[in-house]
């Protein structure tokens, strides 16, 4: 029988997820998972995003070479995943809405991640409630402007149409879109919502917005499936990661009021790289949020 070794004063417990995350009460930025896939029209599975992203975050450096900033200098917290029961769409959207309103009520900047795009609706609406002059910047492969999908107006393929119904199509700016129905194409052309994912075009839109509050909704299938295959509706012809990060960085110092990072179905990517891409994107988003114009 041996004595246990003496407790070392240098013991350090591993931070659960996302290096350096702090107690909720101290946080300026709130990360939380909205992992639900109830209307995924093709390959479901984004309900599992939370686990995969947090696991991927273990292997992540806290410092961003892209923005030359460290997560360790930022007060952010990870609330974990909201409990979102499969199938219960109405309840799920209501619960996401009440959770994000609570976070906003604490003056914390919300960054939601994980699930299919419909979950963005209550997130954007909560931002719009606080900021009636809200502009929405939308990164995606898909327009998500369908009036309905198989008779349902509330799906991940209709979400930005429902957002635009509320905030006005003139306040929706879509980048990276390369797929949709003829009906969506016509709606997008009628309202001029589509913009190429280029530095010049993003700069032009941001200049036109000035100091208006901006919500960024980011469907990660905007990336090419060669670097992000773990998603429900992969779409060839997407942008590479450098272009994507370049676009994100253009939001630096802007009046951001909320962000999301969605559509990770990790099981379709056996390499796990897609989850790493989302984790690293969240790192960049946390840094961006910390430098937002207030």
Q: Which residues bind Mn ion (CB under 5 A)?
A: 117, 140-142, 144, 219, 221
Nearer to Mn ion, 221 or 269 (CB): 221
Rounded CA-CA distance 53/155 in Å is 23
Nearer to Mn ion, 140 or 184 (CB): 140
Rounded CA-CA distance 47/33 in Å is 9
Rounded CA-CA distance 147/157 in Å is 9
Minimum Å distance from CB 6 to Mn ion?
Answer: 55
Rounded CA-CA distance 244/236 in Å is 15
Minimum Å distance from CB 260 to Mn ion?
Answer: 10
- 35: three-class secondary structure by DSSP: coil
**b/e map 103-122, b = 16+ CB within 10 Å:** bbeeebbbbbbbbbbbbbbb
Nearer to Mn ion, 120 or 251 (CB): 120
Minimum Å distance from CB 144 to Mn ion?
Answer: 4
In this structure, what token pair is assigned to residue 117?
């795009």
Nearer to Mn ion, 2 or 182 (CB): 182
Nearer to Mn ion, 146 or 292 (CB): 146
Residue 10: partners with Cβ closer than 8 Å, 6 or more residues away: none
Nearer to Mn ion, 95 or 140 (CB): 140
Compute the chain's Rg from CA coordinates. 19
Minimum Å distance from CB 141 to Mn ion?
Answer: 5
Minimum Å distance from CB 178 to Mn ion?
Answer: 10
Rounded CA-CA distance 174/184 in Å is 12
Rounded CA-CA distance 10/56 in Å is 26
For residue 109, the 8-state DSSP code is E
Nearer to Mn ion, 50 or 238 (CB): 238
Minimum Å distance from CB 21 to Mn ion?
Answer: 27
Minimum Å distance from CB 238 to Mn ion?
Answer: 10
């Amino acid at each position: 029988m041996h004595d246990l070794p003496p407790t070392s004063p240098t013991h350090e417990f591993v931070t659960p997820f996302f290096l350096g995350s702090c107690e909720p009460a101290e946080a300026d930025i709130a990360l939380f998972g909205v992992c639900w896939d109830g209307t995924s029209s093709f390959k479901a599975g984004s309900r599992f995003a939370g686990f995969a992203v947090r696991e991927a975050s273990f292997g992540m450096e806290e410092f961003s070479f892209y923005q030359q900033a460290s997560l360790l200098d930022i007060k952010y917290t990870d609330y974990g995943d909201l409990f979102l029961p499969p199938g219960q769409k109405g309840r799920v959207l209501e619960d996401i809405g009440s959770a994000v309103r609570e976070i906003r009520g604490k003056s914390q900047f919300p960054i939601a991640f994980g699930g299919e795009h419909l979950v963005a609706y209550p997130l954007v609406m909560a931002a719009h409630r606080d900021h009636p002059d809200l502009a929405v910047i939308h990164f995606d492969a898909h327009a998500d402007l369908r009036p309905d999908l198989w008779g349902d107006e509330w799906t991940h393929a209709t979400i930005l149409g429902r957002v635009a119904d509320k905030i006005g199509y003139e306040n929706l700016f879509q980048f990276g879109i390369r797929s949709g129905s003829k009906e969506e194409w016509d709606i997008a052309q009628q309202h001029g919502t589509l913009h190429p994912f280029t530095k010049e075009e993003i700069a032009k839109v941001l200049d036109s917005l000035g100091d208006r509050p901006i919500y960024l909704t980011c469907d990660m299938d905007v990336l090419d499936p060669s670097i992000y295959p773990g998603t429900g509706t992969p779409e060839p012809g997407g942008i590479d990661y450098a272009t994507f990060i370049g676009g994100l960085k253009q939001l630096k110092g802007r009046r951001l009021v909320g962000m999301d990072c969605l559509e990770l179905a990790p099981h379709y990517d056996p390499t796990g790289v897609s989850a790493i891409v989302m984790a690293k994107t969240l790192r960049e988003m946390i840094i961006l949020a910390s430098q937002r114009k207030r």
